[in-house]
Structure 1
Amino acid sequence: MTETEMSTPPLARGYPSVASLMGKDGDLAIFRRFSRLNMISLLKLQAELLYLEKEYDEILAGDIQEGADFHANFQNLIASSEGSNSDQLDILIRIKDKVKDYNELLIQVQQIDTFNVPSSHSVSLLREWLRDSRGGRCFLQSTESFTWHADNEPDFVTFGERNRPQDNLTAWLTMALLGLYHRAWGHKGKDGVIFDPESGAIRYYSNKWWDRIGKALTTIMASTLPALVVLALYFENDVLKRIYIMIGVTAVLAMVLSLTTNAKRIEIFAAVATFAAVEIVFIGSVPSHSNSSQVA
């Protein structure tokens, strides 16, 4: 990505500068979804509908008892607006308006849940810019200063591009490599995007290449692990000790896969079972190197 200077007039510091920042890179357009407030609003509307439903049932039962056929003839129900017995029609109109509000909010909340989740790198960059004396200059005050607080991080959404799910190990390795690159070269070179000329040390790097590097390294690590274990088993002469090593390594592998990847339980089981099968075949078919040398 070529270097691009993103500046805002000095007098526009504050929310205008944040808006400019977010407008130029969707990954930094990070907002709260206010899940708790959305849920309480839905619960309130739901409770109101419960009371309207109860009131409607009572009016309906009363009309039936009085011989009105509104429940079976909507034409008469509509015509009741011109008479004195319009309670059932009135309550249905109120229910229609309230159901509309409820359904609209329900759909909106569902759509919000489909928004992209910002990467930890983007969140950290935004916070760094807000704190920097040459960037956001800590302009947020009072309650607004908690907008992007760490406690609210599970509530964040972004307009940035959807990233493919990345396991914890790859994400950590990618961020570690990116941090080393920035400290060693990136801050001196022309890589990345400078969001504010006054705070040029704050740079944003495209995640695409770094994600690929991280995935390549984790793939290499995963591919060479079985060979390294087989090599360790080769140098162990005692068959029983080989089995103990196999059990320990298999257990560690299962734990690592569970903690650092997004794999499902059945996928982890399949990977571990395949790995264990390779170890078992090696233990059962390959003699220790000392014995094989003696035979030769």
Structure 2
Amino acid sequence: MDGYQKTAHLMARHEEFAILRGFKHLNYQNLLYLQAEISYLEEDLSDLAERDRQSHPDRAKNWWALAHPDSDEDESTYRRTSTKVDTTLPDETLQTNEERMTEHFQSPEDIDVLSHEQGRDGSEQWRKIKELRKALNEYNDALFKQVFLANMQKPNPQDLRFLRSWFVRPGMGNIPIIGADRKAWDPPTEEDLVAIKPRLTPDHISRWFSNTVFPFYHRDPENADLGEGIYSYQEPRLVTLVDITVTVVAAVLPLLSTVVLYFLQTNPVKLGATVAFSSIFALALAIMTNARRVEVFAATAAFAAVNVVFLTNTVSDVPS
């Protein structure tokens, strides 16, 4: 296994490494071209509509006149011929031509088919409308896709670093792609990269366990086709270990601050201990969780308030 096949196999096996370019500027450039094309068509349609308003005022209010200006039959004749009953069908499946035509005209493209079948392309304004319709469909499709692309997440920095390393290391990817697209993952295009299934950015303690402690345990050799020296880890075990550590710290830290304050004798020392424990608590929140700044401030304020209440309710030796 080599080349694109090997790279695709890695991305399929570990989807966090499915990192590809979004081609933002090309997509936006395409949207701008489509927008420009539609703008010109819009002006042309406006001019044609104004011309028809003066020469054929019925076309502004009658679709038949707009789409079939050279038709030998008028709209009433079309309606009469479209309501004949098809008697060749069984009674339970009898269906008028009008009903079938109603079902047939479910999309604008069906109307175009009918016009071509009759050998008539309609007025110049109608032909411009059909041209504009195709451009609008293409523009709307590209616009909705770009909205989706713009909301795709960035790759995890750690995963991107591994992928770059995998590409160049002889025992792993060994430069599997040598064409112009080999530079797709280089730093100059990093802002244009999107992840198909990114991993959430872990908190600091999870990252430390993952990079320092956990590699020594529970590692299983990966498929040799992906390269040498690649191991997979039992992530649920890492999550369990981190959860236990965080839970123990969350339970012990408030109690520890209360015990220390209880044994301290003077108020200045107690106040200093309160400041120290509040700082440790805030640091623990920042390291062990992904809490936002406002959440860290709120939790630290509540922790400090509990210590202050305990401090004011204890008997201390106050200097006279």
TM-score by length of 2: 0.66
Secondary structure in 1 matching 2:144: helix
Q: Which residue of 2 aligns with 1:16?
A: 5
Find 1:123's aligned residue among 132, 157, 160.
160
Q: Deviations over 1:235-289 (max 9, x none)?
A: 654435644664676578668757985445654454233223212212222334x
Pairwise mapping of residues 87-126 of structure 1 onto structure 2 (< 5 A)? Answer: 87-112=124-149, 118-126=155-163
Over 3 Å counting, the alpha-carbon distance change for 1:151 and 1:281 in structure 2 is farther
Q: Which moved more, 1:218-227 or 1:275-284?
A: 218-227
Q: 2:203 aligns with which of 152, 168, 177?
A: 168
CA distance in 2, matches of 1:185, 1:167: 19
AA matched with 2:210:
M
Q: 2:31 aligns with which of 17, 38, 42?
A: 42
- Name the counterpart of 1:144: 181
Aligned residue pairs, count: 270
Shift in alpha-carbon separation, 1:275–1:109, aligned structure 2, 3 A: same
Q: In the alignment, which residue of structure 1 is the partner of 2:81?
A: none
- Larger Cα Rg: Structure 1 or Structure 2? 2
236-245 or 92-101, larger mean C-alpha shift: 236-245
Q: What is the Cα-based RMSD across aligned positions, in Å?
A: 3.8
Report the more deviating stretch, 218-227 or 248-257: 248-257
Give 1:204's match in structure 2, choosing from 232, 235, 242. 232
- Closer, same or farther in 2 for the Cα pair 1:185/1:60, shift >3 Å? same
Give unpaired runs (5+ residues) of structure 1: 1-7
Q: Which residue of the partner structure matches residue 5 of structure 1?
A: none
**Alignment partners' CA distance in 1, 2:122 and 2:223:** 67
Mapped partners of 1:150, 1:234: distance in 2: 55
Is the alpha carbon distance of 1:256 and 1:106 closer, same or farther for their aligned partners in structure 2, counting shifts above 3 Å? Answer: farther
Report SS of the residue matched to 1:201.
coil
Aligned partner of 2:52 in structure 1 is: 63
Aligned residue identity for 2:41: L
Residue pair 2:270, 2:311 contacting (<8 A) in 1 also: yes
CA contact (8 A) 1:45 1:102 kept: yes
Letter in 1 for 2:233: Y
Q: 1:284 to 1:113 in 2, by over 3 A?
A: same
Q: How does 1:272-287 map to 2 (within 5 A)?
A: 272-287=300-315
Would the aligned equivalents of 2:166 and 2:173 in 1 still touch at CA under 8 Å?
yes
Structure 2 residue runs of 5 or longer lacking an equivalent are 72-119
